[in-house]
Structure 1
Amino acid sequence: MLFMLIVLSASTLTCYECVPGVYGSCSDTTKECPTADHQCGAVRVLTYIGDFKTSDIQAKTCALAQDCIEGSINFGNAKTMITSKCCNSDRCNTQPAPDAIQSLPNGKKCFGCVGETCDNTLNCEGSEDHCIKTTLTVEGKKMTVKGCASKLMCTAASNPQLSGLIGAVDCCQGDFCNSASSASAGLLLLVVPLISLVLVS
């Protein structure tokens, strides 16, 4: 029995953990990962309104390989970018995840919304290869949101850990494919659940 415990503990990593609080800052502590499938990871979530960076949230913890994600969701006037960095040795996540670089248009085009008008052309950027559409309720009023997203964001949004928090998100491929399909509330709440997905896993 003792041998089994030694083998089990030797096969899991010890990683730095830093879970941001209310003010977005945190201090590194150490954490033993729950299983041998976990790696040490760092994640960074940046939100922009226009060219102005409105938030830069960084965290570290144990993470599964599928939680080491990079991608973005782009509504034109608002964009959220996620980067991560994972590694496979004890306490190797000393450095934060890299800063996301604002990318250039990639040629894909989706519908975007300005106010209640959702027939504006939005030029997708970087790895954004899908169009998205959802509706959400803000102050009792339903509002449609359309834009561009990386494939990985669409996959993350369909994750069972997130679906209860963000509702359904319609993703599609092909220019302007986000014109008519329906969706349910919650896409703008994607930032916090994605952080939770990486931190809780």
Structure 2
Amino acid sequence: MYLLTLVLGIVLLPEAFTLRCYECTPGVTGTCTETTTQCPSEKNQCAALRVMSYAGGSKLADITGKSCAVSEECGEHSLNFGVSRTVVASKCCSSDLCNTQRVPEPSKTNPNGRKCFTCDGQTCTKTLNCEGNEDHCISATVSTGGQKVTVKGCASKVICTNKELAQIMGLTGVDMSCCQGDYCNSASSTSAGLMLLVAPLISLVLS
């Protein structure tokens, strides 16, 4: 009997120590309806999220959300296609229902020395100077208006390795590959118009 109790205790113990967090899916209005959720793992923290998208120096979207998160998702992560840039900023905390705070605007970033190919509407041979913690080159194929469009640029590591974060960025149902090293996302031609390159951002705003 003692052994059974011990085994049950070991099995149930991790669940007992997971956090309860506020959860809400980002909406177009920039606000969300809160619910509470029990995080799936003791490694999770509570997180307040803010997703901001920019194109041509203008802000296209500013969306908030809340969820459970693992430590590598916390902080600022960005996806940069040159004509558009999306930043996910997460503020994490480690007590029940602590993710009530609003995440501040992302900090101003500077080029970090890494270089990747980007597309300008006709070809994908232009150089994009990566910013902040964008340490990977990315190449993605999105479908829009019945056409497949290639987009290339820079991305933070966690966007390449975390499918949920990639979905938050608007990269749902796309072929995506990342690599490390200058210009590793090889140049190629594309017939896409310039506005089609912001398709991931448009899908993000409309979702």
Query: Which TM-score band applies after superposition, normalised by the shorter structure?
Result: 0.7 to 0.9
Q: Following TM superposition, by how much is the alpha carbon of 1:41 offset from its aligned partner in structure 2, in angstroms?
A: 1.1
Secondary structure at 2:86 match in 1: strand
Report the alpha carbon displacement of residue 138 of structure 1 after superposing the two structures with TM.
2.2
Hey, what does 2:148 align to over in structure 1? 142
Distance 2:33 2:144 in 1: 35
Q: Give the equivalent residue in structure 1 for 2:123.
A: 117
1:124-156 deviation line (CA, Å, top 9, x unaligned): 111111111122232122322111111111112
2:181 corresponds to: 174
Residue 42 of structure 1: aligned partner: 48
Instruction: Give RMSD over aligned pairs.
Output: 3.6
For residue 55 of structure 1, give the secondary structure of its aligned residue in structure 2: strand
Q: What is residue 31 of structure 2 aligned with on the other side?
A: 25
> Which of these residues, 55, 62, 74, is aligned with residue 56 of structure 1?
62
Question: What is the TM-score when the length of structure 1 is the normalising length?
Answer: 0.74
d(CA) in 1 for partners of 2:16, 2:146? 53
Scaled by the length of structure 2, the TM-score of the pair is 0.72
Counterpart of 2:85?
Answer: 79
Give CA deviations for 1:137-185 in whole Å, capped at 9, x if unaligned. Answer: 32122322111111111112499989x943331211221111159xxxx
1:32 Cα offset (Å) = 4.1
Mark the CA change 1:35 to 1:131 in structure 2 (over 3 Å): closer, same or farther: closer
- List alignment gaps of at least 5 residues for structure 2: 189-197
Distance change >3 Å, CA 179–CA 26, structure 1 → 2: same
Identical residues among aligned pairs (%):
51
* Cross-structure match for 2:105: 99
CA contact (8 A) 1:157 1:190 kept: no
Deviation at 1:96, TM superposition (A): 2.1
> Number of residues paired by the alignment?
187
Larger radius of gyration: 2
Q: Distance in 1 between matches of 2:128 and 2:47?
A: 33
The question of whether the paired residues in 2 share the 8 Å contact of 1:40 and 1:63 is answered with yes
- Comparing 91-100 and 72-81, the one that deviates more: 91-100
Change (3 A) 1:9 1:107: closer
